[in-house]
């Protein structure tokens, strides 16, 4: 398989109850990424996790949906990801969101192996 593009993976770890105004923060992040023309975004909901406060968040029956962990993943060029991070900073000010960036190799994107992004 040929590597199509060197890119970066942006991950934002937040709580399900984190908000940007009246909107869930994870939704606001995805909409901002779309507005800025990034290649795509995926939101993952975790059944268990904890963050800097060490408070355990779980989906166990008796504590259903207590601020479950949410992860937003976005892959695109480093330039676009850095632009997105700058745009998100004001939205993240009130949250304890963890942001990570790592280099990735995109092997396939879209239906055609030659699709480009970035």
Domain boundaries, the chain: 26-106
Residue 51 pLDDT level (bands cut at 50, 70, 90): confident
**100: burial class by Cβ within 10 Å (0-12, 13-18, 19+)?**
exposed
What is the rounded average pLDDT of the residues 91-104?
A: 95
CATH code linked to domain 26-106: 3.30.70.120
- Per-residue pLDDT for 64 more than 70? no
Q: How far is CA 106 from each of CA 9, 33, 49, 72, 100, rounded to the nearest angstrom?
A: 10, 18, 28, 18, 18
Q: What is the mean pLDDT of the chain?
A: 86
Where do the H-state alpha helices sit in 12-92?
25-35, 78-92
Residue 118 pLDDT level (bands cut at 50, 70, 90): low
Residue 1 pLDDT level (bands cut at 50, 70, 90): very low
What is the reported pTM?
A: 0.84
Two tokens at 77?
């060029």
């Amino acid at each position: 398989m040929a590597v199509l593009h060197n890119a970066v993976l942006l991950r934002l770890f937040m709580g399900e109850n984190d908000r940007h105004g009246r909107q869930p923060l994870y939704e606001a992040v995805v909409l901002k990424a779309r507005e800025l023309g990034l290649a795509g975004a995926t939101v993952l909901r975790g059944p268990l996790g904890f963050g800097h406060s060490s408070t355990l968040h779980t989906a166990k029956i008796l504590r259903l949906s207590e601020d479950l962990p949410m992860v937003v993943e976005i892959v695109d060029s480093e330039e676009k990801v850095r632009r997105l991070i700058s745009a998100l900073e004001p939205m993240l000010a009130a949250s304890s969101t963890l942001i990570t960036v790592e280099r990735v190799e995109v092997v396939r994107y879209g239906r055609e192996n030659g699709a480009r992004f970035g």
